[in-house]
Every structure is written in C-alpha cells, then in structure tokens.
Structure 1
Amino acid sequence: MNEPLVDAPDTFPAQAFSFALAGPAGKLEVTTDAADPAEARRGTVVICHPHPLQGGTMHNKVVTMLERSLRESGLDTARFNFRGVGASEGEFDNGLGEGDDLAAVVEWARRVHPGDALWLAGFSFGSFVSISNAVRLHADALVSIAPPAGRWDFSSLRTPTCPWLIVQGEEDEVVDPQTVYDWIDSLDAEPVLVRMPETSHFFHRRLMDLRGAVKHGVKDWLPPARQG
C-alpha cells in the first residue's frame, strides 16, 4: 500500500519529490525535480499529461522524456496527475476542471519560485489543456507535443503570443498530422514547428530524438542562469 503523500512544501525541493497539493477538486498529486545547479536557469515548467480516460498519467514515457529534456535545459520541473488520476482526487471534467488543476500547480510554482519565468508544456490532451490556459496563466513559453487538433475544439482558443514550440510526428496514428499543420497555419502566432518523420503518436523508438528536438527548440528562449 502506498504511503500517503506529504503536504505541499513551502520551497521548491532540491531533489525529486512527490507531494499532495490542494486543488479545486481535492488533493493533486505533484512530482517535482530540480535542474542541476550548474545548469539551472531562473525558470520553472509545469507539464501536463495525456487523456485521463485513456490511461494518461504524469508517468507517461513521453511526459517523462519531456520533463527530462526541459530539466536538462536548466528548468525546474513540476508534473502532476489531473483530477481522478493516481492519487489525485476528483473526477474527469472534459478539460475544463483540468485547466483549473493546472492553474493550482502554477500558483504553487509561482509562490515557491517568485520571479521565475513560468513555462507550460504538455503531451496530447495535456497540450490541449496547457495551450487552452497559456494566456490566462501568462505563460512565458509553451511546449506542445502532438497537440490533438481535430479531436478537441481548438477553434475558440485564445492564441498564445509567447515563444512556442510544437513537435508533431508525421506518422501519428491518434492525431492527424495534416489537421495539426492546418491549425498551425490558421494561427496569428508563429509557433516553431518540428515535424518528425517516421514517428508515431507515442514516439516509439524516437524518444531520444524528441529529447533533442525539445532541447534544440527551446535553447534560445531559456531564462538567465539561476546563480551568477
């Protein structure tokens, strides 16, 4: 039986750490990790996972590679389980309540890291939630992996104007790549698009390529060093 999670800390943990954060529908399960002090930047990223009703959790392999990529880039990271997933309380709310879950984690991250740049990132459904809330949460940068255009209503979203990286597999069997490209073409913003050939939705055998694409894609947007 798993031990109950401790309450959210008042400072950002220096090592990988899991805790329970008070959220809008009950406790949220959150896991953080800190960048190597020698590489650390004054930035924190909150990462959203795939669809809760289709097995998505913060432990998804694409999410964990996304986390690793951004942490290796110097950002402190926070992943969390949406309501009703893992140890998070509540029930699935079709993307709306999940946006409020994200807002709760962002509020905690800003409280413990005041002055940090706040980035949002997500995979699949998680990218829909992070894109949907990027404007209201004043994200400083956005990373979207396989955004599910055509599966969720992207037409009414407020378009972020912050730096924005989108990575899309060209052989995605869940999200139609052409629908994603057409949606990007319709935007007023100009996100950086990386099209990965021979790549499925879950980046089978391409996770290290995803790592490289993310690290290369965000390197010019990174905030200043945390120390020095």
Structure 2
Amino acid sequence: MSETVLIPGGRDVRATLDIAASDGSRGEAAVVACPPHPQHGGHRGDERLTAVSDALTDRGIDCLRFDYGDWDEGYGESTDADNAVGWAAERYERVGLFGFSFGATVALVAAASRPGLAGVCALAPTARLNPDVDAVAALDALVDLGVATRILYATRDSTADWEPVVERAEQLGIETVAFESDHFFVGRAGDVGKAVEEFFGTRLRDD
C-alpha cells in the first residue's frame, strides 16, 4: 500500500510512502530513498529505488521515495533529503537513508549531519555533487558520528566517479560490496534490493 506525501521545507518535494503493513498502518521503521540525477531523468519511480522499496516492505520496513524540488546544483537536493529524513524521524522510531547514483551522494552528505540515523546505504555514489559538496569527506563525518554505512558499487561503472568513495570507505573500514555490473545494474535490481534490505533489516527491525 502506498500514499502520497508532501515534504515540508519551502521546496516542492513530493514523495511516495510505501507501507509494509497490509492494513495501511505505519510501522516503527522506515528508509528514505533518494533518486538519481533529476536532470538525467531521475525520479522516485526509478527501478533501483522501487526494487529496494519492495525488498524493504517485504521485511516489514516502510520506504519513503521522494522527488527533488527544482534543480539547485546539489545544494537544494541535499536539503530535500534532509527534510525527508526529518519528516520520517517525526513519525518513525528508526530511520535509514538510501540513494542511487547522484542520490547516493546526496544520501551520504545528508547522513553526515544526522547522527540519529540507523544507517545509510549508498548505491553507485559519485565523489561530488558540486565543488562544495564532497561525498568522500562525508564518509569521515559518518565514521565520527558512528552512523553505520554500506557502499554498493559496480565494477564496470564508467558513469559515476565512484573510485574515490570506495577507496576512502575501505581506508576507514566502511563496508563495501561490489557487483559485477554497469552503473545501471541492468538485470540486477533484485540483487540490489536484497543487499540493501540485508543491511537495513538488521538495524531497523527488532527481530
């Protein structure tokens, strides 16, 4: 079951809340999902995001997939993610953050200012959103905050500048998982959903 949500914060940010419970009641845990680059067609209905949401809701975890507001060079998009996490944190006991590609970098940057997060999982992140917003630096902040982090990447990815993120993550002891795939994980969406669900399932569920 799903419902449409308007995220407060001064920008036009709309989201779909996928609810695990068959009666439509919200659970105790949710993951906020950040889509890929909006100028390249990224949106909350992205195949990777929906696969993750399906895997999470099957595990009893709700998922909030949102669209960014008007394009703002990565600055406003990071604010959108933070506002979406804030919306979820007011309604759920435990909140995680996920993103794909541009959205993975948004997720890492937003998570670096959210010490209460249960975890952040980034799929095929690129090193930077813009000259001022650096995912590599965000990894150091996440370690300092003690936020559990997992980086998923594709070994044949020639689209995103992912190598600096994975290199720094491994230096910091952050878990990384490699997929034999290209940037878009063609035919691997189900595997991606499983990997994300496994990470959050142990951190967001009581059982």
1:117 aligns with 2:94: yes
Give the AA of the match of 1:42. Answer: E
Residue pairs, 1:15-164, within 5 angstroms: 15-25=1-11, 27-36=12-21, 42-84=28-70, 92-113=71-92, 116-138=93-115, 139-149=117-127, 153-157=134-138, 158-160=140-142, 161-164=146-149
- Cα deviation for residue 203 of structure 1 reads 0.6
- Secondary structure, aligned partner of 2:150: strand
Q: Tell me the residue number matched to 1:12.
A: none
* 2:200 aligns with one of 218, 224, 228: 218
Gaps of 5+ in 1: 1-14, 85-91
Work out whether residues 41 and 222 of structure 1, in 8 Å CA contact, stay in contact via their aligned partners in 2: no
- Tell me which moved more, 212-221 or 42-51: 212-221
Contact 1:145/1:166 (CA < 8 Å) preserved in 2? yes
CA shift for structure 1 position 132: 0.6
2:48–2:193 Cα contact (<8 Å) kept: no
Distance in 1 of aligned mates of 2:90 and 2:27: 17
Contact 1:47 1:63 in 2 (8 A): yes
Cα-to-partner distance string for 1:6-42 (whole Å, 9 max, x where unaligned):
xxxxxxxxx30113333322x311110111369x962
Distance 2:199 2:129 in 1: 25
SS at match of 2:103: helix
Which residue does 1:192 correspond to in 2? Answer: 175
| Partner in structure 2 of residue 169 of structure 1 | 154
Of residues 174, 182, 186, the one that matches 2:167 is 182
Contact 1:23 1:104 in 2 (8 A): yes
Structure 2: stretches of 5+ with no match in the other structure? none
Count of matched residue positions in the alignment of Structure 1 and Structure 2: 197
Structure whose CA Rg is larger: 1
Residue 118 of structure 1 aligns to a residue in which SS? strand
Paired residue for 1:201? Answer: 183
Alignment CA distance shift 1:205-1:21 (3 Å): same
Q: Which residue of 2 aligns with 1:4?
A: none
The secondary structure found in structure 2 opposite 1:112 is: coil
CA distance, structure 1, for counterparts of residue 136 and residue 201 of structure 2 = 29
By how many angstroms is 1:76 displaced? 1.1
Structure having the larger proportion of residues in helix: 2
Q: Matched residue of 1:156: which SS?
A: helix
Shift of 1:71: 2.1
| Preserved contact between residue 125 and residue 162 of structure 2 (Cα < 8 Å) | no
Using the aligned pairs only, state the percent identity: 26
Conserved in 1, the CA contact under 8 Å of 2:135 and 2:165? no
Give the superposition deviation at 1:77: 1.1
